[in-house]
C-alpha cells in the first residue's frame, strides 16, 4: 500500500490528545467501507490511541510508521 492510495488525509500535526482521535472519528464517518485514510500526527499518544480506535470500531490499521517527529498511519474503514 502506498500513501498515494489514500482517499483523504487527516492532518492532525500539532494537535494533542484527544483532538487527533476526535477528528479521526469524524473523518472516518465521511468514508465508505474499504476506503483508506492517511493520518499525519505529531502526538506520541496516537501510537496507542489509533490502534485502539481501529480495534474498537472495526477499522484496519494497514500501515503505521514513525519519521523523525511525525507519525503516519493508513487506516481502512471497516464495514
The single residue of 13, 15, 17, 35 carrying the catalytic annotation is 17
In angstroms, the Cα distances linking 68 to 3, 7, 41, 42, 65 are 18, 25, 12, 10, 10
Active site residue 17: yes
* CA atoms of 42 and 47, how far apart (whole Å): 10
End-to-end CA distance of the chain: 20
- Grid coordinates of 53: 480506535
Question: Catalytic residue numbers?
Answer: 17
Amino acid at each position: 500500500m502506498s500513501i498515494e492510495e489514500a482517499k483523504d488525509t487527516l492532518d492532525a500535526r500539532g494537535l494533542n490528545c484527544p483532538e487527533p482521535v476526535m477528528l479521526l472519528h469524524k473523518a472516518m464517518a465521511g468514508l465508505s467501507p474499504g476506503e483508506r485514510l492517511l493520518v499525519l500526527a505529531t502526538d506520541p499518544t496516537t501510537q496507542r490511541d489509533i490502534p485502539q480506535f481501529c480495534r474498537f470500531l472495526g477499522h484496519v490499521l494497514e500501515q503505521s510508521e514513525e519519521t523523525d517527529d511525525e507519525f503516519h498511519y493508513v487506516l481502512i474503514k471497516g464495514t
